[in-house]
Each structure stands twice: as structure tokens, then as C-alpha cells.
Amino acid sequence: MAFPAFADSTPTAKCRFLGQKTSFKGKLYTCIKGKSKGKTILKWDSGKVIPVASPSTSQTPTASPSSSPTVSPEPVIVKKNEIPIAKSSEVSVNSTQSFTAKNSNGSETKYILARNSEGLIAMDATCPHQGCTVAIAASGLLCPCHNALFDPKNGAVLRGPASYPLNRFEVREVEGVIYITD
């Protein structure tokens, strides 16, 4: 009966004492007791494969910044007492325009809108002197009754007899529409 040849798989070092260890061809061998021709001998065991340290994968994947969640726009809420009086496009920057709309009481009312460095301003076209309706003129907002003159940018008094500026309203632009609260 032919035995497999162990020559190639046996350590070349001599097995001298029990527990002796040696590495050979990637295996760790231990010296153990064995039998040969009825005698107790020392021999190398079958060996254990020495684990090869795998290269550490130090490159930890960096979490790619996720795209920022899109914030859904808040729903547009127009208050009950807000009155749409013009389109935003109708009041360009550095301009003053007049519009007529019904106020919350249903009364036809003339309003003046101005857009400038102070922002968008909504004014009542009613003269605070005696209640006439001011109109846009070359010199400003002019009252036809007693010639009071108001600043077209903000309604401030430029000339009497009016003592008070034009009344202002809360104004808001929502999706291209100008609303005032009156």
C-alpha cells in the first residue's frame, strides 16, 4: 500500500520535544507523540494554517452629504379682511399708483400704492384735512380741495393745510397679488 508522501508538507526542523512549535509553508506545526513500528516517537502534527492578516480597510466610507430636504412652501393664506387691490407687476419700483377697490365694508375706496426704498406702502387716498380724495400729480399727491400736498413715497405732509399724513394700511404681497387690510 502506498502512503502519501509527506516530505513536502512536513517541517524541515526536527521535532525534538512535545509541544515544540514551528512554522513551515504557512502552517504552524506542533510536536506531538506518535507511533512508528510499534514505538512511540515524536512527530509534527498536521499543522494549522497561519491566518494571514488581511490588510485593514481603513478607508471608511464617508457618508456623502445627502441633499438637503426640500422644504415645501407654506400654504398661502389670505386673511378674510385682506383686500386684493392690484397685481404686484402693476406697481414697479420707484413708482406710485392709485387703485380703487371695495373695502371690508363694501365701500368703494381709492388707495395709493408706492414701491420704493421703504418697501411697498399702501395709503388711503382720503385727505386727512377734510376728506377729499387726493390724486397723483407731478408735485406729489395733491388734494384738489385745499391744495394740501403729500409725499408720493410715503404719504407724509409736504404742504398744508393738512396736518396729518395719509392714513396707511397693512399691505402684503402673495403670489403676485397685493393685498391690503382695510
Outline where the chain has alpha helix (H). none
- x/- map, 3-42, ligand FES, by CB under 6 A: ----------------------------------------
Instruction: List the one residue from 148, 157, 171, 180 that touches ligand FES (CB under 6 A).
Output: 148
Residues of this chain, 114-143, that bind ligand FES according to CB under 6 A: 127, 129-130, 132, 143
* Cα–Cα distance, 69 to 51 (Å, whole number): 47
Q: Does 83 bind ligand FES (CB under 6 A)?
A: no
The one-letter code for the residue type at 44 is: W
Cα dihedral sign, 79-80-82-83:
positive
User: CB–CB of 148/161 below 8 Å?
Assistant: yes
Give 83 or 162: the residue with its C-beta nearer to ligand FES. Answer: 162
Q: How far is the CB of 67 from ligand FES (least distance, A)?
A: 59
Of 137, 158, 135, whose CA–CA distance to 148 is shortest? 158
Instruction: List the one residue from 85, 86, 157, 162 that touches ligand FES (CB under 6 A).
Output: 162
Phi-psi region of 75 (alpha: psi -120 to 50; beta: other; left: phi over 0): beta
Residues that bind ligand FES (CB under 6 A): 127, 129-130, 132, 143, 145-146, 148, 161-162
